[in-house]
Structure 1
């Protein structure tokens, strides 16, 4: 008897495409890790790999440094603070540069020196990326193609070509397997920025054709890696600019239209690639380009728009996600007091170990994977933004920790996130406060960390007064008289504003009264958290009567 054994059919080639990482360490590592996560045989990075700018980190006395991130100047007290700052900058695609005040002044006078420095830092980061990529991908047998885009300096080409592992595909037709070939072009049509690889439509068409020399379909499939999006595809819809970068307007309104390449579109229509990867210059309002097995189909996908008469009963203007503490009672009540009726807040809670408001308990809480899980629960409810609502929990480990915490939540949920300590900083700026005093229910160690955080954010802290309470439930049970007495004892003559810290401190109903008594703005953690949350929902106003910040005086 004879048996015919059939082997398993060979798995189709799996290709993962990404583009425009713009110097971000986080985005590049996600791209590299996609090989294992998605079992990809081929990774293609389509261009614009360089970052956007240099962030000076100025050395001060005593081993301290000063730097600015996300518009906030930070005082970095320790090596750990510096490391967190530099990692946060790299995640955002910025190049941090250790320097001195004198060198910064010299660079400001010499734009060509800044450009040389930028290019050096871009090369150094790309070199590190190439080494990491080889370490991660070589054992997996994954092919890696990295191209440069119109934003990238030409000297990056040589680094990729000389890496010994990554393949630089510019202007070439390369076999992905026996059935598929990849054609690549990182040049783009002329933009108002006149980047290094911006060329005329005629030259771009010529470069695309040169990348296709030797192509013969003959049953094979073609994959395009063309950095520039095709004209009028939806990928290229953006605000149109003049050559001086000012917006084109009609009747006082910005003009939106296509800015992609006619040469790229013509190549897609002629060669009908099975897949075409491009940068997206802006999301398309109301639709998206549709891809099919015959390449990019240049038409709109129908969009179902809700009937305006079918407005939701709750949350018609927005849904705020709040990560609260298991022991907190004041925040929920004060959100309910202030939110406008067209906005809804949904809550998820983190367990505060032992109910302690201590460094150890807060550290255990913020290190837990429960932070990401809570964020995902809020995303499931449709939250359009998420706030981590704990003051000391979000500033516990110094300058930049609030930003890193928000980024953790954003990474897990793909929803915009912020924190209470970030909100307080923004609120104090909105109130034009530079010299502040602080009242807290905390123990001394947490007060010390809070002072360091706000001083690093650029405020002069004239005084900080704490109640020494160790358990969060004690804080939530404070009386009106106790809260007002804390405010009076913490107030300092000459301060521009008084901040009452802690999201479980029941202070919101008394802020307006305290402002009249003390003659200055008084804000609480919850007032700032609610104000910041509403800013992220179309800037809607809160219900009035809860102090200057929520009454709109700060704006």
Structure 2
């Protein structure tokens, strides 16, 4: 049995995780612990507060008791708003505290894009323009080219969690660009798992969504290849992914010893 854990802020689209567990191998267990989310507004101060060390540390004991082999901070804005260095330091602290490899949704997007060979992407963000621009900058800092960014301007996570499948599809289509190899939909408050196949069919290219890449990142850290035809191109094969991502400084944020950092790509 492979058991991986997630620190998920609040209660918005967490039902994507049991859905993914059903679609994956029966020997994979996804354990979700909900961290505090007192303010779900899409403002930088509120979003950064989600990723403070105290909030993250509060959920680790339960995941350790569950015997998880890797932990992922299942939040985009609560990591990418800290910048590349801050996002790395955030999960490195989790790894040191728990003794298992750790990562985040934001870093998971980078590894997922590299696995698919997507060097140029489009960003379909539920966020306001200023937050969406920060995610785009985070992606670009790892060497990916962003062909287009579309910001839907949602006010908070509760609004996004209530979006219909049609609204999610509109978001993806609005962001797509002919030059993009894949379309990225950040925000773990967004329900997307049930729509992955339909979204990829509509766009004619891979679609990477927050909860999908979060689970793939956890399984990557646990050295557990997994595939599922219902989880999009990201889970269609067991092939080994390419080299880990690096930022402009040349520092790799994808490897290190298993107790302090991300673990090997």
TM-score range, shorter chain: 0.7 to 0.9
Size of the aligned set, in residue pairs, is 239
Larger % of strand: which? 1
CA distance in 1, matches of 2:239, 2:41: 34
Shift of 1:368: 4.5
Contact 1:512 1:545 in 2 (8 A): yes
Q: Name the counterpart of 1:238.
A: none
Aligned residue in 1 for 2:205: 520
Q: Secondary structure at the match of 2:84?
A: coil
Give distance in 1, aligned partners of 2:13 and 2:184: 20
Query: Where do 1:256-405 residues align within 5 Å?
Result: 317-330=1-14, 331-405=16-90
Distance in 2 (CA, whole Å) between partners of 1:422 and 1:404 is: 12
1:3-24: CA deviation from partner (whole Å, max 9, x where unpaired) = xxxxxxxxxxxxxxxxxxxxxx
- The Cα shift of 1:553 comes to 7.2
Closer/same/farther in 2, CA of residues 496 and 516 from structure 1, 3 Å limit: same
Shift of residue 446, structure 1, vs aligned partner = 0.9
The partner residue of 2:93 within 404, 408, 412 is: 408
Query: Cα distance, 1:360 vs. partner?
Result: 1.1
Equivalent positions of 1:452-467 (< 5 A) are: 452-467=137-152
Instruction: Report runs of 4+ in structure 1 exceeding 6 Å deviation.
Output: none
- Separation (CA, whole Å) in 2 of partners of 1:464 and 1:351: 29
CA gap of 1:553–1:382, structure 2 versus 1, over 3 A, is: closer
Distance in 2 of aligned mates of 1:351 and 1:496: 36
Pick the aligned partner of 1:484 from 169, 187, 201.
169
* Structure with larger RCO (C-alpha < 8 A, sep 6+): 2
In the alignment, is the contact (CA less than 8 A) between 1:352 and 1:362 conserved in 2?
A: no
Cα deviation for residue 554 of structure 1 reads: 6.6
1:438 to 123, 126, 135: 123
Q: 1:503 to 1:334 in 2, by over 3 A?
A: farther
Distance 1:326 1:368, change over 3 A: same
* 1:7-406 superposed matches below 5 A: 317-330=1-14, 331-406=16-91
Distance 1:554 1:389 in 2: 24
Who wins on radius of gyration, i.e. which is larger?
Answer: 1
Task: Give the superposed CA RMSD.
Answer: 1.7
Query: When the two structures are superposed, what TM-score results if normalisation uses the length of structure 1?
Result: 0.41
Q: Secondary structure at the match of 1:349?
A: strand
Q: Is the 8 A contact 1:359 1:396 kept in 2?
A: yes
1:415-462, CA deviations, whole angstroms, 9 ceiling, x for partnerless residues?
Answer: 211111111100100111111101011111211110110110101111
| 1:474 match | 159
Decide whether aligned partners of structure 1 residues 536 and 420 sit closer, same or farther in structure 2, where only a CA change above 3 A counts.
Answer: same
Q: Distance in 1 between matches of 2:163 and 2:143?
A: 31
Per-residue Cα deviation, 1:225-275 (whole angstroms, up to 9, x for no partner)? xxxxxxxxxxxxxxxxxxxxxxxxxxxxxxxxxxxxxxxxxxxxxxxxxxx
Distance 2:239 2:208 in 1: 11
**CA distance 1:329–1:522, shift in 2 (3 Å):** closer
CA-to-partner distance for each residue in 1:182-205, whole Å, 9 max, x for gaps? xxxxxxxxxxxxxxxxxxxxxxxx
Alpha carbons of structure 1 residues 321 and 522: separation in structure 2 relative to 1, 3 Å = same
The separation in 1 between residues aligned to 2:42 and 2:185, in whole angstroms, is 16
